[in-house]
Amino acid sequence: MVVEETVPLWKQRANALKEELDSCIPEEWKLKTSPDSLPLNTINIVSDSGILSKEELGIISIDATDLASSIAKKKYTAVEVATAYAKSAAIAHQATNCLSRFFPKEALERAKWLDEQLQKNGKPVGPLHGVPISVKDHIGLKGQLACIGFTATIRETIADSLLVAKLREAGAVFMVKTCVPQAGMQLETDSFRGPTLNPYNRKHTPGGSSGGEAALIASKGGVLGIGTDIGGSIRNPCAHVGIYGFKPTVGRVPRTGGDGISAFYGQDTILATTGPMGRSIRDLELWITSSIMNEPWKDHPSVLKMPWRKDEVVFKNGNLPKIGIMWDDGVVRPQPPMRRALKYTKEKLIKAGFEVIDVLPYKSAEAWDITSSLYFSDGGETNRSNAAKTGEPIWPLTEWIMTQSTKPRTAAEVMELNLKRDIFRAEYHAYFRTLDIDVMILPPAPDPAPRLGTSKYWNYTSLFNLVDYPGGTLPTGLHVESTDIPDEAYEFTGKSDKEVWENYNDVNDFVGLPLGIQVVGKKYEDEKVLEAMKLIEEAIRA
């Protein structure tokens, strides 16, 4: 007698969600080639597909700022824009597995209403009028499911999160939600939905945990999106796919609502923040100013009463920021292409007249010990419970990050860790002051986008979650070249250093991947960091 194997509950839910999403993609928007047969590099798949018209290709080629202006001037209608991006999002998903939800019908209804309002009133409803905004899966969007990467956490959201509500007031159109990793705690994006893939090389990760957003926007399936960052989850993926991202100081933009922006409620030892991911630095600013223009601090006490103060930015050297470059965190050595990107940036900045100094790291190993212990003060019990509810396995990278905190902590132990955190923050503030710089440039990771399943070193980004400093990433325009050969074996500082070196063992697997840099500044100086990023990019592009 043949006994049929019972499909576990988590797999049933995963299959049902995949079938539902696939059914939302019209046949005429589906690729003729199966995903498994696509080339490794699909960065141009939307334009190469033949599915979009010439005008639609024009729509998806410009950034959100130009798009909003074009809609306001009636060059494009909101319906035309929504249609173009619905097609392109569907195509990008087929190549990279970046979407968790797809609802073009609702987006087109919203776009039609926006067109009617523009015709009726003669002006846009707000600065984002008609601009599609993609939403990371666990952020609340009314009427849509939200999930933190476990099937047990899937639930329908009955109201917009505060951030979504503010962006909707500004005129945004929502049509997709994007994939997150299991527990929302990986520098990759792998869960019951399968891995999200890097459009520059589908054997590599787009990063995480906002990897769905990154893959979508890099593929031109989206133009501006909502990411979150508790350890690098905006900055890391943006760097891995060659787009722009910004992690604000906690509280500068709304962060409440939906399914929570952490793997569990009530965790406030290290706070996550929402932030923009997009195609230009000015788009990041458009997102931020749109999210706070209607004073969200009146709606929720977690938002700081702090309008955007761009005009108050003052640099140490007048019109140009004084910049420190940190080449190495002292724990894991950046691989050759990452060092080349920093060297290129430094040369460009000096040529443009910037004052640039080299700076040394500060207690990087201690920072990671504190941070990783604070992430899972319950020893990972909440995540294991979520997995057990449906029989879902714990994915390897989820297991890895949870093992960085070895045990559940007592209340007294959490208090002690919080004290260590606060002491470190004070020490780092003093250290940054002694540097006498406006912003610091450093790698966003020790390596270009790693092969799937190998991303384990967080501290180039997580350090700035520990100290709550704002930071962003921008592409240098450089890519990995065949001459970026691995270093000869050297005396490794430890296990993490050796692992990163071993993973970068064949440059040919990495050729063509984009190279980004990270720019950070002091707490609450978000405007200064963003203005510095603009000037740094101008110098790099010159």
To which H or E segment does residue 163 belong?
Answer: helix 162-169
Q: Examine the residue annotation and report whether 233 is marked as an active-site residue of this protein.
A: yes
DSSP symbol at 61: T
DSSP symbol at 39: -
Going by C-alpha positions, the residue among 99, 255, 71, 94 that lies closest to residue 171 is: 71
Q: Sign of the CA dihedral 158, 161, 162, 168?
A: negative
Q: Examine the residue annotation and report whether 290 is marked as an active-site residue of this protein.
A: no
- The set of residues, in sequence order, having a beta carbon less than 8 Å from that of 493 and lying 6+ positions away, is 330, 331, 332, 333
Q: Which of 70, 209, 290, 405 is catalytic?
A: 209
CB burial string 229-260: b at 16+ within 10 A, e below: bbbbbbbbbbbbbbbbbbbbbbbbbbbbbbbb
3-state helix, strand, coil in the chain (%, to 5): 40, 15, 45
What span, in angstroms and rounded, lies between the C-alpha atoms of 496 and 507? Answer: 19
Residue 139's Cα: distance from chain center in Å? Answer: 13
Phi, psi of 170 (to 5 degrees): -80, -5
Decide: 136 and 233 in contact? Cβ < 8 Å: no
Q: Examine the residue annotation and report whether 495 is marked as an active-site residue of this protein.
A: no
Q: Which of 70, 134, 161, 233 is catalytic?
A: 233
Q: Which of 136, 220, 348, 522 is catalytic?
A: 136
For 293, half-sphere exposure in the C-beta direction (CA atoms, 13 angstrom radius) is: 16
Decide: 429 and 210 in contact? Cβ < 8 Å: no
Checking DSSP bridges between strand 471-479 and strand 514-520, what pairing results, if any? antiparallel
To which H or E segment does residue 100 belong?
Answer: strand 99-102
Catalytic residue numbers? 136, 209, 233
